[in-house]
Amino acid sequence: MVDVSAKPATARSARARALVRMAPATETALRAATLGKGDAFATAQIAGIMAAKNTAALIPLAHSLPLGHVDVTFAWTGPGELQIDASAATSAQTGVEMEAMVAASIAALTIYDMAKALEKGIAIESVRLLEKDGGKSGRWRADERGAR
């Protein structure tokens, strides 16, 4: 584990995104909440938040952080294309990039789990960091650095 004990606690934030693709019928069922397992979006939102809070238990050598904020949102960005954005913030000695990415990942996996009875071929196509702020390296944005 990296020693951050000498670093000052500063405000830090991060935002990550997962992209989930599915068939039109699966999208329709998710939108109409007719899966029979409850509200997939509420379940995935809570799962993402809980996952962010447990990142240190999931990722070896990750620091346990006192999260001040975690949010998970959903947007349909095209036919059968669900975008999941997760954000995390803290005042700590290290950043929250992993917490945001874990939240987005677990929310996407939860959507898959909720809809898998309708479609086994749902694809989680990407999970990526969109931006981070704070710490020694300051602000970073994926679109500013040419990252996909």
Catalytic residue among 3, 71, 113, 133: 113
Provide the token pair at 49: 């938040």
Q: CA–CA distance from 48 to each of 42, 75, 81, 85, 136 (Å)?
A: 10, 15, 19, 10, 27
Q: Three-state SS for 5? A: coil
Q: Three-state SS for 77? A: strand
Q: What does the alpha-carbon distance between residue 122 and residue 91 come to, in Å, rounded to a whole number?
A: 36
113 is catalytic: yes
Residues labelled catalytic = 113
